[in-house]
Each structure stands twice: as structure tokens, then as C-alpha cells.
Amino acid sequence: MLKFIIPTIMLMPLTWLSKSNHIWINSTAYSLLISFTSLLLLNQFNDNSLNYSLTFFSDSLSTPLLMLTMWLLPLMLMASQSHLLKETLIRKKLYITMLIMLQTLLIMTFTATELILFYITFEATLVPTLIIITRWGNQTERLNAGLYFLFYTLTGSLPLLVALTYLQNTMGTLNFLLLQHWTQPLSPSWSNTLMWLACMMAFLVKMPLYGLHLWLPKAHVEAPIAGSMVLAAVLLKLGGYGMLRITPLLNPLTEHMAYPFLMLSLWGMIMTSSICLRQTDLKSLIAYSSISHMALVIVAILIQTPWSYMGATALMIAHGLTSSMLFCLANSNDERTHSRTMILARGLQIFLPLMATWWLLASLTNLALPPTINLIGELLVVMSTFSWSNPTIILMGTNIVITALYSLYMLIMTQRGKHTHHINNLTPSFTREHALMALHILPLLLLSLNPKIILGPLY
Amino acid sequence: MLRRALPLGLGTGLLGRGLGTHREGSTLDWHGKVSEIKKKIQSILPGGAWSPLYDTSHLPPEHSDVVIVGGGVLGLSVAYWLKRLEKQQGAIRVLVVERDHTYSQASTALSVGGMRQQFSLPENIQLSLFSVEFLRNINEYLAVVDDPPLDLQFNPSGYLFLASEEGATIMENNVKVQRQEGAKVCLMSPEQLQKKFPWINTEGVALASYGLENEGWFDPWCLLQGLRRKVQSMGVLFCHGEVTRFISSSNHMETASGEKVTLKRIHEVHVKVDRSQEYQPVECAIVVNAAGAWSGRVAELAGIGKGPSGTLQGTKLPVEPRKRYVYLWHCPQGPGLEAPLVADPSGAYFRREGLGNNYLGGCSPAELCPQEEEPDPGNLEVDHDFFQEKVWPPLARRVPAFETLKVRSAWAGYYDYNTFDQNGVVGPHPLVVNMYFATGFSGHGLQQAPAVGRAVAEVMLEGRFQTINLSPFLFSRFYLGEKTQEHCII
């Protein structure tokens, strides 16, 4: 695993020592090369994981997430070039350094064997994200957003530290490879219930669960584009990944402890989808749609069936790419009109037809059009929840319909309709932006040809 | 890194100014201190906008979707209709930048407050008709919870225009157009006029048109305050400052016929705080120029008119301030309560003010004197000789009772005078794509403000005029040379 971590750390001296007109091209090109090396991890030759050392390993759950993370860094760098134009050189390098630091910590999170190392890097990812949001965000509300983000996730995850130290004491190890074979069930006592809560709350806040989701619209909307991309695509999946790793330890408590969170998620996905229909701010709409998709993932993980695990992992990867692409599209709008309100930038299809194609593709994948991997994930989740409990099909069906409604609403509001006079002189799309969108949609479409690599360890 | 990261980029204020002004006095102001601490705690808790270095509550926000330059009746009307016509509540963030919150020089506050439909252009008549309907139902349009209803003091006494022999045919045609649009106007011969208003001297009058309904005068300050209150309750932000600069970016583009044009987009407005060097750059998507008499200056800031004359880039916004005097006098034998606003063919006009035989009046010098005799618009000083020479003689001739009167007071106000054709400028500028105009109404802006606000809001939100078609009032007519002029006696 050091073959990823060390090059990523070395990207930092690369940025600082590059000439001023080469910082972007250097960091983007090298991070793209590093992302290609992650393809090596796909060669999982047996049901056990690929073990590189006692500290790092990768199995078919962490591999797709790792590939997503490493693929996203060059994309983030490409997307940030425009809004950092006016900054001084040192600040540009600082920004890139923050992104690289975040990337290193994320790689270590997804490949950590020891759960304490996972926890440390999990918490450490908050710091560069907070700096990116509060320093480079757009408006005064970003301080508020940073506070919400920091304290929600911190408060959720501090009990996890306590739980992990307790588990280390009782089980003697927190090495995931050994924990996979843990067979002793948890007795249903109060303290074990609290431990279940302590373990899960950190990840539920991160996902986010419907009742604890207030930080997400704020953080996503106020963050700069790279911050939004990494938040939506990867940081949310940290929660899912953590839940998938820790649930083997918490049998059989999950069967009855999961009910409140299942209800919250089932209800919350419909609520947040409906909120999307009433949003006027484009980034806010995409943020709420993220919550809705992640609620599906929470439901899938909590019912713990093989198909639902496959659906959860597929949905995480698919949503990561789609959400990131939607944020890039919204940012391209924002950079041109200097406003995130949808109502002020309408009829864009006439002005930017190729960008309208990307908008169409992104909206179609967002509403889980067959045969994309979004559909595979959603379908697996819907089927497994149906078999878990028949009436949930009504809620799931309603959610699918409302998702389609708001995705098309967003498409029609921004692309179709009569344009207003003040968008007459939109700058045409840059090649960089087209490359960005293509690099998002290409993996998404190619994965629909071979989805088994993202279906996780239970495939 | 964290220390540097947090407060930077929050607007350029004076560093080290300290957190507000703290008295180092010896009086123990417990109440004040406690409320200050409470305010600070409230601003720190999530939900408040807190700047760790210094207090920025007097500055406008860093980002606003629409910035309206000018907080007079036109600017507030545009803000009101924007908020009313947006599809969902809170969709658009609007900021109104007003330089003087006492409105000491604003045309709105110093206006005579007349409302008429007797124009010659059908668009003007439609604008006034909608505006009077707005004013009649003002307590439905501008209702705010828990606030008392507005009393506009609308006196529906009508307008009386007098025409001499030469102007009689124009007046008849105008009345025909007005009746077509739905205004209720009646034409009177001198005999009928003498019978209806016995205090009038009908010498030299060939025809008179009298507005029977929906004309009169009202209190402009009340409308302004009502709009301000309602607009604040709808979520529009007010800022006390002056726009000093527009930061824009240009795109060189080609039209369909191959001509090269440079389209400009304003993406930042620098708002300077009063009596200080501090300014706040406000990132915006749309700018509305409703600065009244100073619209020309604001347009110049955006680069409108900077180019070779005769081209579209070189066409300036022809709105400049023109000073007009209004005199208040007392005449015990004067016309009674039924007196309308009488407009003499010479250009002088008067109306009743209150119930104590006081009258307001003035004269538009455009008719009488050539350009050189326009009063100097540098200040609002009143010239009393103007009354003696230009206003009193024609009024005294028209109303013999006015031979004995006593001037009580006088004031001066600005017209946002459109030197091209004395009618308003509405809609976007063809080259600066996100600047919209709502100005230049040359003396009849107040009475058309509600309708103009709605028209501009429609263009901004829908892309075209939906209810009243104001395309004759677009900016492009200055370049094309098409005057939309009123064929009126005044």
C-alpha cells in the first residue's frame, strides 16, 4: 500500500517545488498516473483480502472506494483551476497541499487494517476538509457551515473511540483480519446496546442519517468545488465503509437496534427527495439528493443481507461519481453567472449545447436509468428490502419516482425554457470542463459493462 | 495554518479596529454589557454570521443575486415585484443599496405626488392604470403582519389639462387614446369649464380634459415607507452605502451577421460605506440601475457610453438631474375642495394641499425657457424669483383669486430627466448584459413605479415583458434614434 501512499505524499513537494505555471499540470498529471496504479488492486484472487502488511490491506470492498478516491484527485484539481485564478501562488499551493493531504489520509482510511488507525485517519480527514471549507468557501455562511460540519462529525465519532478502546481490551485485537473471524455474539445487555450505538453513530452522522443531516447541505453548499466533490463522493462513503466494517462485530444486536435508524432512513429518503423539489439553490438540491441516496445505503447496510450489501457498495460508487459530476456542472454554472440560484440561469441548452449533454447524462444517472450502476445498486437494495419487509416497496417506489421528478426538474429548470437577457454572454465551455465531465461519466458508463468489480465482497 | 486560514478573505475592513466601540467610561452599564454579551454569544452559536476579527454587520453581504442601486420608489418597487414573482419564497437574494436613508435628495420624497392617466402613449396610460389599481388596493399588496395599514391620503380630485387653440387637436387625439386604454377622461368646452369651476378664467382656453376617475395625488412618503416595510419583511437586504465601482468581465463575440461586439458582464459591485473608506465587494448576478437623478453617473461607472459617439458602445444613458421648484402658498379666497390639479398651457400647475386653502404649484421650465435657463442642479436651493416671474403671473391669470396670495414655503427636487425623449428607460442594456434600467421617468416616475417594477421583474425572471409591453422604452432606442415622446401639452 505504500506504493500509493508515498507517491501521494510526494505530490506535496512536487507542488511546492514546481514553477508557477506548472503547478496545475504537474499535480494533475501525476495524480492521474497514481490513480491508474490503483487498478492493481482489482486482482483479488481469493475470498480473503490482499494483505500487504500488518497495517494495510485491501479487499473487494475497499478496492472500488480506493479507486474512486484516487480517481477523484486529478478531477478535483482540474475543477479548482478556475476559481483559484485570482489567488496568490502560495495560496494555490496551499490549496493543492490540503487536497493532497486529504487524499493521503483517505487512502490510509480505506486501507487500514487496525481499527484504531482507521479511526485516527478518519478523524484526521476532518481537518483539511474544514480548512478548505472555511478558508476558500464563497460566503460568510461558510464559518457556520464549517462549525456544523466539524462538531456534528466530531460529536458522533468520539464515542467510537471509547468503544474501540473497549473492544481492544475485551477482544485483544482490533486488526480487521482477525475480527473477521470473531464468532462470539454480543449479549443483549444495556452496556452492549450503548456500545452498539457508540460504534454506529459516528458512521451514521457521516452518511448522513436523516435526523443528523443538517451539516450536509451547509457544508456542501458553502464549500468550494473541490471541497464539494470530495465531500459528496468520498467522505460520505467513509461512513458506509465504516458501517460495513464494524457490523460483523455487533451481531446479533443489529437485528433489533437497527430499527429506529431504518425507520429514520426510510422516511428520510422520501423527505429529502421531496425537499429537493422545492429547492431554488442548485448546490443545495444536489446536496439533499446526496442525503436521499445515502439513506438507501444506510437501509441496505442495516438489513445485512448479501444482496443488500452488494447494492450498498454499488450505490456508493455510482453515487460518488454522479454526485461529483453534478457538483462540477453546478459549479460551471456558478462561475459564469456568479449566482447559484436556478431561476436566474435558465435556457442554457441554447448557449452551451455540449454542456447540456453532460447535464442530461448526469441527470439520467442520478435518476438511476438502466443500465447504469446506479440502477443496479438501487434495484438490489429495493429487492432486498422488499424481502426483508414487504411494505417498504411502497416507500422505495415513491422515492424512485420523486428522485426522477427532481432530477428532471433540475434538468429542465437549468437547460430548457426561455433564457433571460443577462445570460447572453456566457463564456463558452472550456475543454478542461468537458474533460472533467467526460472523466466522470466514462467510468460510470464503463462500469455498467462489468459491474461485478464494484459489488463488494459478497458477490 | 489554521490561524491564517479562518478569517482571511472576509471583506476588506480596517484591521485592528476592535470589536465595536467600547466605552472605557466609569459608569457601570450592566444592562448594556449584558445585552452585548448576549449578542456576542448569539452570534457565535451556529446560526449567526460571526467574523472573528471585527464587526462586519454594517457591511452588505459578500454575495447577492440581484443588487438594486438606489432605494427610492422605483428600486423598492423592483425589489417588491422580484420577491413577489419569484416562484418559491427565498429563491432570489436581493440587496438594495441606498446612499441616503433620510431620502433628503431623493426625487420620491420631494415629489408633488400626482397620479394621472392623461398621457399620449398607450404604454404610459397602461402603466398608470395598473399603478393606480395597486395604490387603491395597497393594503392588500403591501400588508405586513402586525403592522398598521397604510393611509396613502389619495385625493381623487383628478387632473385638469387646459389647451389653447394650437394644442386642442393634440388633446382630442390624446383623449381618444386614453379612452381606448380604459382611462375615464372627459373633454370640456370653455363654457362647461366655467360652469364646473367658476374660479377659472377661461381666457385663451379652447378645450379642457378632466380626469374623472383614478387621478389625483397621494402621499409619496407613505408609499415609500410602505414599500420599504413590506420589502424588508419579504427578506430583501438593505445596505447603507454608495456604489463606487463595478468589476466586470468582457467577452468578444460575433453576431449572426459577422459583426464584432464586446459584451460585458458585471460580476462584482463595490459598495462604499458612508463617511468611511471601507468598501465591500458584493458578488452579484444582476444589477438594477434605479438610481433616479444619478442614474447617468451609475451607468458611466459600468462603462456605458465609453466609446466612439454614434456607436452602441458610445451611447450614454441620457438621464441627468434637473431641478424643479415647488412652492406652497396660502390663498384664502382660492378654489375650493373640488379643485383638481390644474395644468395651464403655459406650463404652470397647481393643486390644493390640505383643507386650509393652501396650494402647491410650480412650473416646468422646459416649455417656457430654452436650455440655458435650466436651474443649476448642483444643489437644492430654491429660487424665489422664479416664482415671481414664471409661476405667479400665469396662475394669477388663470385663477383670478390667486392675485392675492402669500407664499408659505418652497422646496426643490430633482427630476431624473431623460434628455432624449422625457420618458422612462426600462429593461436590459444590449451590451452590458446584466444591467437592467428602471429610471429616467422625468417627473412621472412615482406614479408609474408599481407597474414599472413589475415589468422589470418580469424581464429579469422570464426574459420578456408579460403584462405591459414596454419595448418602446428599451435602451436601444437611444442608439436607433427612435424617440418615444409624449405629445402632451406639458
Residue type at B200 in one-letter notation? I
| Chain A residue closest in CA terms to B8 | A135
Q: Which of A421, A426, A425 is nearest to B263 (CA)?
A: A425
Contacts of B50 in chain A (CB under 8 A): 143
**Closest C-alpha to B291, from B113, B445, B129, B172:** B445
Pick the residue from chain A with its C-alpha nearest to B262: A425
With 0-12 CB in 10 A as exposed, 13-18 as middle and 19+ as buried, what is B277? exposed
CB-based contact A422 B460, cutoff 8 Å: yes
User: Tens digit of pLDDT for each residue in A205-248?
Assistant: 999 999 999 999 999 999 999 999 999 999 999 999 999 999 88
CA B5 to chain centre: 44
Which three three-digit cell numbers place residue A272?
Answer: 429529502
CB nearest A422 (choices: B9, B286, B462): B286
- B464 and A418 within 8 Å at the Cβ level: the answer is yes
pLDDT tier, B9 (very low <50, low <70, confident <90, very high otherwise): very low
Q: Which residues contact B372 (CB under 8 A, 6 or more apart)?
A: none
Task: Answer whether residue B10 shows pLDDT above 60.
Answer: no
Q: How confident is the model at residue B1 (pLDDT cuts 50, 70, 90)?
A: very low
Rounded to two decimals, the ipTM of the complex is 0.85
pLDDT for the residue A203? 94
C-beta contacts of B481-487 below 8 A and 24+ residues apart: B483/B420, B483/B421, B484/B121, B484/B123, B484/B421, B484/B423, B485/B421, B485/B422, B485/B423, B486/B119, B486/B120, B486/B121, B486/B124, B486/B421, B486/B422, B486/B423, B487/B120, B487/B170, B487/B173, B487/B174
The total number of residues shown for chain B amounts to: 490
Q: Give the distance from residue A82's alpha carbon to the nearest chain B alpha carbon, in angstroms.
A: 14
Q: What is the mean pLDDT of residues B136-154?
A: 91
Question: Tens of pLDDT along A38-63?
Answer: 888 888 777 777 777 888 988 889 99
In angstroms, the separation between the Cα of residue B52 and the nearest Cα of chain A is 10
Residue B371 pLDDT: 55
Per CB-CB distance under 8 Å, the chain B contacts of A424 are 263, 433
Q: Are A315 and A399 in contact (CB under 8 A)?
A: no
Domain boundaries along the sequence of chain A: 1-37+55-454
Residue from the list A140, A341, A424 with its beta carbon closest to the beta carbon of B263: A424
- Per CB-CB distance under 8 Å, the chain B contacts of A277 are none
pLDDT at B5 over 50: no
Residue pair B92/B83 in contact by the 8 Å Cβ criterion: yes
Residue A67's pLDDT band (boundaries 50, 70, 90)? Answer: very high
Where are the strands (E) in B70-157, listed by range? 94-98, 114-115
Q: Are the Cβ atoms of B264 and A425 closer than 8 angstroms?
A: yes
**A32-41, A71-80, B369-378, B381-390: which is most confident:** A71-80
Interface-testing mutation among B434, B456, B462, with chain A (most A C-beta atoms within 10 A): B434
User: Is a pLDDT exceeding 60 seen at residue B447?
Assistant: yes
B264/A135 Cβ within 8 A: no
Summarised one tens digit per residue, pLDDT across range A88-105 is: 999 999 999 999 999 999
**pLDDT band for position B477 (cuts 50, 70, 90):** very high
pLDDT exceeds cutoff 70 at B489: no
- A129-168 pLDDT, tens per residue? 999 998 898 777 788 888 889 999 999 999 999 999 999 9
**Angle between helix A353-366 and A392-415 (nearest 10):** 170
Chain B neighbors of A342, CB-CB under 8 A: 91
Question: At residue B261, what are phi and psi to the nearest 5 degrees?
Answer: -125, 160
Question: Is A73's pLDDT higher than 70?
Answer: yes
DSSP annotation of A185: P
Q: Which three cell numbers stand for residue A175?
A: 486488526
Cβ separation A143–B49 shorter than 8 A: yes
**Mean pLDDT across chain B:** 86
Neighbours of B464 (CB within 10 A): 12
Q: Hey, are the CB atoms on B62 and A344 less than 8 Å from each other?
A: no
Taking CA atoms, B411 is separated from B153, B323, B408, in Å, by 21, 10, 11
Nearest to B348, CA basis, from B469, B476, B490, B170:
B490
The cell for B80 is 417588491
Specify whether the CB–CB gap between B227 and B77 falls below 8 A: yes
- What's the pLDDT at B15? 42
Say if residues B312 and B479 touch (Cβ distance below 8 Å): yes
Spatial CA neighbour of B66 closest among B58, B57, B76, B56: B76
The minimum CA-CA distance between B64 and chain A, rounded to whole Å, is 8
- Cβ contact, residue pair A425, B10, below 8 Å: no
Chain A residues whose beta carbon lies within 8 Å of the beta carbon of residue B458: none
3-state secondary structure of B363: strand
Average pLDDT over residues A251-269: 91
Closest alpha carbon to B443 in B354, B358, B341, B359: B341
Per-position DSSP letters for B275-327, written without gaps between them: TSS-EEEEEEEEEEE--GGGHHHHHHHTTTT-S-TTSSTT----EEEEEEEEE
Buried-state track B160-180, b at ≥16 Cβ within 10 A, e below 16 = bbbbeeebbeebeebbebbee
Mean pLDDT, chain A, whole residue set: 92
Chain B residues whose CB is inside 8 A of the A343 CB are 86-87, 91-92, 461
Residue B246 is predicted with a pLDDT of: 94
How far apart are alpha carbons B175 and B73 in whole angstroms?
28
- Mean pLDDT computed over A257-270: 94
Give the residue ranges of DSSP H helices in B103-236: 122-136, 138-141, 168-181, 190-196, 220-233
Residue in chain B nearest A344 by alpha carbon: B461
Adjacent-strand bridge partners of B188: B208
* Cβ neighbours of B53 in A, within 8 Å: none
| CA-closest candidate to residue B56, choices B282, B269, B342, B222 | B282
B283–A144 CB contact, under 8 Å: no
Sign of dihedral through CA atoms A267, A271, A273, A274? Answer: positive
As a whole number, mean pLDDT of residues B118-138 equals: 93
pLDDT on residue B8: 44
C-beta atoms of B91 and A280 within 8 A: yes
**A360-402 pLDDT, tens per residue?**
999 999 999 999 999 999 999 999 999 999 999 999 999 999 9
User: DSSP string spanning A311-374?
Assistant: HHHHHHHHHHHHHHHHHHHHHHHHHHHS--BGGGS--HHHH-HHHHHHHHHHHHHHTT-TTSHH
pLDDT digits (tens, 9 = 90+) for B411-445: 998 888 898 888 999 999 999 999 999 999 988 89
Q: Do B263 and A143 touch (CB under 8 A)?
A: no
Looking at residue B16, what is its pLDDT? Answer: 39
The rounded Cα B239 to chain-centroid distance in angstroms is 18
pLDDT number for residue B50? 54
* The pLDDT of residue A17 is above 70: yes
Please state, in angstroms and rounded to a whole number, the distance separating the CA atoms of residues A453 and B217. Answer: 77
pLDDT digits (tens, 9 = 90+) for B174-198: 999 999 999 999 999 999 999 999 9
| Cell of residue B321, nine digits | 438631474
